[in-house]
Chains A and B, each alone.
Chain A
Amino acid sequence: MTTVRIPPTLRPSVGGERQVPAQGETVRELLDDLTSRFPALREQLVEDDDIAPFVNVYVEGEDVRTLDGIETPVQYGSTVILLPAMAGGSR
């Protein structure tokens, strides 16, 4: 079981949870598991069968794009962070 941290902008798609458990041995399997249970997440995370370019996925603090991308293995018990860009600051 892996804990996936859900950023505030994606929480409405997972019933408001800050983090949800997910199954999978790679980022792809993890995202498949998540999006099968929360279908609204799919278009917000996946584009052309890959991680959408405006979302970063971190496994144990490392950007998976610097590892094996969507095929990056995920160890049992590790923490995964989903991180889309936030613009807010001024107004």
Chain B
Amino acid sequence: MPGYRELLAHLRAEIDEVDTTSARDLTDAVFVDIREQDEWDEGHIPGALHVSRGHLESRIETAVPDKARQVVLYCAVGNRSVFATKTLEDLGYANVVSLAGGYVDWKRNGFPTQLPQSLSPDQRSRYSRHLLIPEVGVEGQTKLLNSRVLLIGAGGLGSPSSLYLAAAGVGTLGIVDDDRVDASNLQRQIAHSTETLGDWKVDSAKRTLEALNPDVNVLTYKERLTSENIERILGDGWDVIVDGADNFPTRYLVNDASVWHDVPVVHGSIYRFEGQVTVFRPGDGPCYRCLFPTPPPPELAPSCAEGGVLGVLPGIVGSLQANETIKLLLGIGDPLVGRLLLFDALATEFNEVKLRKDASCPVCGESPTITEYIDYVEFCTRAGSAVG
């Protein structure tokens, strides 16, 4: 029987190795770190997956489902990864290499490394139901904690969406709203309460959200979104915008800014018993102007303040917006890009229509004619629309 050294030497001759300098150029390959948890916690190659050698056989097919993909396995100095390479070949992986010299050599060469963000015991407990889902896990939860979402409006839609985003641990929430809490809001705007009547909605919402989850930092913008302040607010840097505005000028303003800043918008709108939800992701689908080139005249577009809205409806639509937002942040599932979801609360019926990018769209089309902010109130008035 060969001893450890003979076996290692024998296998090393059988498998393929790559040195750290060449490995750095393998940008399409997936790096898998097979070291133990404590070794991983002290730093790893950026973008690498962690599957400890003890779990390699049982977990690698979930971590790397594509057996044709090039896999670079690494450990500390390049010995354990030799055995692991053989194991993956036995499992049918066609293109596996072992990183010669391992993580130690990678670091010695001054190549980039990354310290994994680990969750505190409190966070492990708070987010435990997320951590159990493979699509989220520690990595996804860490992503959420590092994410920044801007909510337009702290009203009917902004209340449920911000509550669920805060509960999910989205680390930074910005809220833009220039209104105060009124008694007529409380039938549906669940981020506020009888105790906060008369307070600014952004302050009332901040209190509710931070009480729900102290991990969340709430930035408040006590102002109406306009062409004058939108650059400053977007300049704070956002991964996703959740649009729950109550008027057409803001909808068009948010749309144009999101196209120019390349930030996806999760759109929701409601009236009486019906809601609409979609995702406008710049470059990857239509924008709001592709869907509605001009706003409707006022008699066709009464606001909820004029026409009313069932209190629970924004709860459903706002929750759908939170769901789309979390999917976008995690990069999972199929977001509502190019699809408009219609919800009818009376019939309890969902319908979906296809949305297509308009090549002649003045903002996201092939030859844009609108390249800077316009007077949105005038644009919507000219179209015959009401404001607010």
Of residues 12 to 70 in A, which have CB atoms within 8 Å of B's CB atoms?
18, 44, 52-56, 58, 61-63, 65-66
Q: B294 to A90, Cβ gap below 8 A?
A: no
In whole angstroms, what is the CA distance A84 to B354 when docked? 15
* A-binding segment of B19-27, B99-107, B344-352: B344-352
What's the minimum C-beta distance from A48 to chain B, rounded to whole angstroms?
13
What's the minimum C-beta distance from A6 to chain B, rounded to whole angstroms?
11
Interface centre among B179, B292, B309, B340 (most CB of A within 10 A): B292
In whole angstroms, what is the CA distance A1 to B292 when docked? 28
In whole angstroms, what is the CA distance A46 to B248 when docked? 21
Q: B273 to A85, Cβ gap below 8 A?
A: no
- A53 contact set on B, CB distance < 8 A: 293-294
Q: A56 to B303, Cβ gap below 8 A?
A: no
- A18 contact set on B, CB distance < 8 A: 344, 346-347
Of residues 151 to 171 in B, which have CB atoms within 8 Å of A's CB atoms?
152-158
What's the minimum C-beta distance from B381 to chain A, rounded to whole angstroms?
14
In whole angstroms, what is the CA distance A8 to B276 when docked? 12
- B351 contact set on A, CB distance < 8 A: 5, 61, 81
Q: A54 to B353, Cβ gap below 8 A?
A: no
Contact status of A81 and B342, CB under 8 A, knowing A87-B251, A87-B269, A87-B303: yes
- With both beta carbons as reference points, the residue of chain A lying nearest to B306 in the complex is identified as A88
Q: A90 to B355, Cβ gap below 8 A?
A: no
Q: B294 to A88, Cβ gap below 8 A?
A: no
In whole angstroms, what is the CA distance A8 to B248 when docked? 18
Which of B179, B300, B344 is A9 in contact with, Cβ under 8 Å? B300
Residue-wise, chain B 262-287 has the 8 Å CB interface mask toward A (1 for contact) of 00000011111110100000000000
- B246 contact set on A, CB distance < 8 A: 87-91
What is the total number of residues of chain A having a CB less than 8 Å from a CB of chain B? 28
In whole angstroms, what is the CA distance A44 to B299 when docked? 9
Interface presence of B52 (CB below 8 A): no
Q: B245 to A90, Cβ gap below 8 A?
A: yes
- With both beta carbons as reference points, the residue of chain B lying nearest to A10 in the complex is identified as B300
Interface presence of A7 (CB below 8 A): yes
- A7 contact set on B, CB distance < 8 A: 274
Q: A9 to B301, Cβ gap below 8 A?
A: yes
Contact status of A90 and B300, CB under 8 A, knowing A18-B347, A56-B291: no
Contact status of A9 and B302, CB under 8 A, knowing A62-B354, A89-B243, A90-B157: yes
Q: B244 to A63, Cβ gap below 8 A?
A: no
Q: A90 to B356, Cβ gap below 8 A?
A: no
Interface presence of B388 (CB below 8 A): yes
Q: B271 to A61, Cβ gap below 8 A?
A: no
What's the minimum C-beta distance from A7 to chain B, rounded to whole angstroms?
7
- A55 contact set on B, CB distance < 8 A: 296
**Minimum-distance CB pairs A-B, first 4:** A90-B155, A90-B153, A90-B246, A54-B296
Jot down 11 A-B pairs with beta carbons below 8 A, ordered by A: A8-B271, A62-B353, A66-B356, A83-B342, A87-B246, A87-B269, A88-B270, A88-B304, A89-B268, A90-B155, A90-B177
14 further interface pairs, Cβ-Cβ under 8 Å (given A44-B299, A88-B304, A91-B304): A5-B351, A9-B271, A18-B347, A55-B296, A62-B354, A85-B296, A86-B270, A86-B271, A86-B276, A87-B251, A89-B156, A90-B157, A90-B179, A91-B179
Interface residues in chain A, defined as those with a beta carbon under 8 Å from any beta carbon in chain B:
5, 7-10, 18, 44, 52-56, 58, 61-63, 65-66, 81, 83-91
